[in-house]
Structure 1
C-alpha cells in the first residue's frame, strides 16, 4: 500500500473523536510540527486581521481552507508541512505588499503555491479513487500529466480570483495580459515539479513494498 494507493472507506457518520482524528497529521515529527505550527499561525493571522483588512481575511481564509482539505484527504505529513509553510508565506507576502516591492516574488509564489495545491488535489483524487496510478514509468508520466492538469485548472481559478478582486474589491490587485500569462506559466511549472515529486515518491514506495520489510 502506498501513500497514493489506499482503500476507500465505507460512508459512516464519524464520532467526535473520529472527526478530530481526521484532522490529525501522521508522519515524521518535524513534519507534524511544521504543519501544526503553520495551521496555528494561519488561524492567528486570520483573527489578528479580522478587523483590519477584509481582503487579507479572505486570503487567510482560503489558506486555512487549503490546509483543512490537505488534512481531510490525509496528505503525507511532509506535504502538509510544505503546503502550510508555502501558503502562509505567500499570504503574508500579499498582505505586506511584497509582490509590489519585489516583482519576481510573484513568480516564485505562483510556482510554489500552485505546485503544493496541485499535489494536494491529486492526493485527494487518488484517495477517492478518481485517479488510478499504475506501476512503472507510464504510471509516473500519467501522474505528472494529471498533476499538471490539476495545477493549470487551479491556476486559472487563481487568475479569475485576481480579476474579480481587481474589478470588484481593490483595483490595486495586479492584472493584465502579461501578468496572467506569466502566472499561468509559473503555475504550470510548479505543477510539473509537484508531479515529478509525487511520481518519485510513489515509485520509491512501490520499490520498498516489493522488497518487503528490511531485516
Structure 2
C-alpha cells in the first residue's frame, strides 16, 4: 500500500487539471509556511489541517478533476475559517460543510475500497451507503474537534446545537451526492498504482 501511495505521488502530472491541482497543492504548502510567520498559531493550525487532504488526494490517484476539487475545497474551508467568513456570510458554513464533507467522503470511499474494508459487491448502492456513512462520521468528528477547540482552546469558535446539527446535515447531504456520483463514475485515474 505504501509503495502505491508513493508511486502515485511521484507520477508526473500529464494534463492541465493535474498541473493545476499540483500548483494548488504547492500553494497550500506555501500558505501554511508563510502563515507560521504572519498569523496566530491557531490560524496556522487551521490552515495546516488542509495539508493531509491535499496530499492524500494526489497519493490515492484521484481523477484530476476530483483531485483539484478536493484541494480547492479543503483550502477554501480552512481559509474561510481564518478569514472569519463563516460568521460574516450567512449560509456559507453550510455550503462549505456540504462541499468539503463530500470531497472527503470521496477520499474515504477510495481508501475503504482499496484497503478491502468495503467488499467489492459490484452493486451500485454500495458507494452511496458507504460515502454517506463516511461523510456523517467525518461530520461528527469535525464537530467534536470544533467543540474541543471551543471548550479548551478559544471561545471564539462558534458552537451551538443548531449549528452542529445543521453542519452534520449539510455534510451528510454532500456525502450522499458524492456517493450517487461514485455509483456511476470512477473516482480514480485509470493508470494509477492500485493500493
Shorter-chain TM-score above 0.5: yes
Shift of 1:19: 7.4
Cα pair distance change 1:124/1:20, threshold 3 Å = closer
Q: Once the two structures are superposed, what CA deviation does each residue of 1:65-86 show, in whole Å capped at 9, x if it has no partner?
A: 1122222322222211110011
Local SS of the residue matching 1:200 = coil
Question: Which moved further from structure 2: 29-38 or 109-118?
Answer: 29-38
SS of the aligned residue for 1:131 comes to coil
Shift of 1:38: 1.7
| Contact kept in structure 2, 1:26 and 1:76, CA below 8 Å | no
Closer, same or farther: CA 82–25 of 1 in aligned 2, 3 Å: farther
Q: Give the CA RMSD over aligned residues.
A: 2.3
Structure 1 residue corresponding to 2:132, chosen from 144, 148, 163: 148
Per the alignment, residue 68 of structure 2 pairs with 81
Partner of 1:170: 154
The correspondence for 1:46, drawn from 32, 49, 52, is 32
For structure 2, list consecutive stretches of 5 or more residues without a partner in the other structure.
190-195
Unmatched 5+ residue regions in structure 1? 1-8, 206-215
Question: In the alignment, is the contact (CA less than 8 A) between 1:73 and 1:127 conserved in 2?
Answer: no
When Rg is computed on C-alpha atoms for both structures, the one with the higher figure is 1
SS of 1:174 mapped into structure 2: coil
| Residue pair 2:6, 2:59 contacting (<8 A) in 1 also | no
Indicate if the aligned counterparts of 1:118 and 1:151 stay in contact, CA closer than 8 A: yes
Q: Superposition pairs for residues 53-202 of structure 1, below 5 Å?
A: 53-135=40-122, 139-202=123-186
Aligned residues: 187
Native 8 Å contact 1:114 1:155 kept in 2: yes
SS of match in other structure, 1:193: helix
Q: TM-score, normalised by structure 1?
A: 0.79
Q: 2:83 & 2:156 partners in 1: Cα distance?
A: 13
Deviations 1:78-99 (A, max 9, x none): 2111100111111111111111
Shift in Å at residue 194 of structure 1? Answer: 0.8
Greater length-normalized contact order (CA 8 Å, ≥ 6 residues apart): 2
Asked if the contact 2:13–2:19 (Cα under 8 Å) also holds between the matched residues in 1, the reply is no
